[in-house]
Structure 1
Amino acid sequence: MSKNNEHVFEVIELCLLAGKIMLQSGAETYRVEDTMTRIAEALGIPNSHSYVTPTGIVFSTDDTNPAKLIRISERSTDLYKVTLVNGVSRKVSNGELTRQEAFEKLMEIEKENYTFPIYQQVLAASIASACFMIMFLGQWHDFFPAFITGGVGFLSFIFLQRVVQIRFFSEFLASLIIGVISMLFVKIGIGEQLDKIIIGSVMPLVPGLLITNAVRDLMAGHLVSGLSKGAEAFLTAFAIGAGVAVVFATMS
């Protein structure tokens, strides 16, 4: 392999790693493609081509090197990683980082886990659930039931996601648990407005980022990614609604 071909191959690997981290962390499709293009151009490949979908990235150059595909099997929400990769991209574009230094930094970013501890996530979900309940014109008397229900529901979602590993079923079961707990609170007299408690408690499960990215990708002309993310958001919303509906159908 010539030095030129070796350089091109290493740049492609760098771009794919940056795109993989961003896509797995919840970045929009057009942002992923733009970042990969900027890195390649800064490292001497001005005419690169990329095709990004939620489940894979194809990247190639105008040279004789073949296109390379990388598979994306897991996706989460970690916008801090997206910010870090964007920072590396800017430093590469400004000549502050070499290709090897950028690759090492991206490897560190990929290995690090920047998510908050589970207890902090559950606490935030509990507070958000109770506040959403108030925002939807609920009563302060239901603040504590919504706080508990939202926290337990989100904790069950995290646990079920690790066991089931199918987002649809974990969200369905988590919303079912939320419906059961909410109804129990109301039946024993601790809660009053069942609908407000449930609505507030399921809000941490609502796919807000997916819906936003789907709309932004569609507006940017990425129809495949936009429609697929929209379909994923629809399935998530359907799972949440179905879980609550099952509770109403069996316990009311």
Structure 2
Amino acid sequence: MHLGGSLTTESACAYAHSPGVPPHPGPEWTRFICISDNHSRTQCDLPPGDVLLHAGDLSSWGYPAQVMKTLDWIKSLDYPTKIIIAGNHDLCLDEDVPPFGEDLGPESLATIREYVRGEEMKKANVHYLEYESFEFMTAAGRKWIVYGSPASPKHASGAFQYSERQAAQLIYDKIPSDTEILITHTPAKYCLDLTAKGKKAGCRVLRERLKSLEACRLHVFGHIHEDAGADMIDTDAGVRVAVNAAIARSGTAMIVDLRN
């Protein structure tokens, strides 16, 4: 499903945000609002929900001020839980990227890296994940286990990138088997990863890892702006919703309802 449609099963529903989207289905469900790749753009119509998920590329060119613009916006949004990761554009958040640009020495980079994990963010219910898990409970009492990874295959220069299969395996082998909600910046290979040039640009290693993540019911990613949308993937354990939540072109959030 690309933008404008909907997908529904007995345990999961996915919609592109529009006036015709059904209301929250009730306390037996959790509504996730999924976005990615806003690239410092903060003019986006977001619907109500239980959880906001952002799959990276908070900024355009990785400068702290650009990241802060998005963080301030996310802090202001009225969601009980907000979970974010970085992407390949978010250079200032990657400790392996050397200082760049004017007035961007180690001190200013350390400041933004501390801030994104700091108390002000937590007080606003914003949780930044970088190769780590996070557990939260909804108002209805459902506990969800989330894992976030900012990594993506090497393309030009950027943050959190890998170029070798072995490096990718080290990254994705870290995903715990009990992960229910997976947020990555890159798509998996052959899943909503088609570029404008006709290339399937997702990660093959991530695709292989997902096959063994039986508990994973929702995979949210972005990176490939042209292929935003959702898909339902049959697994041995049931249905997994895959969402390319990139809003860089459409400005349209994706809504996913999961039965608790």
Q: TM-score range by the shorter chain?
A: under 0.3
TM-score (norm 2): 0.25
- Structure with the higher strand share, 1 or 2: 2
- Structure with the higher helix share, 1 or 2: 1
TM-score (norm 1): 0.26
Q: Relative contact order (alpha carbons < 8 A, sep ≥ 6): 1 or 2 greater? A: 2
Q: State the structure with more CA Rg.
A: 1
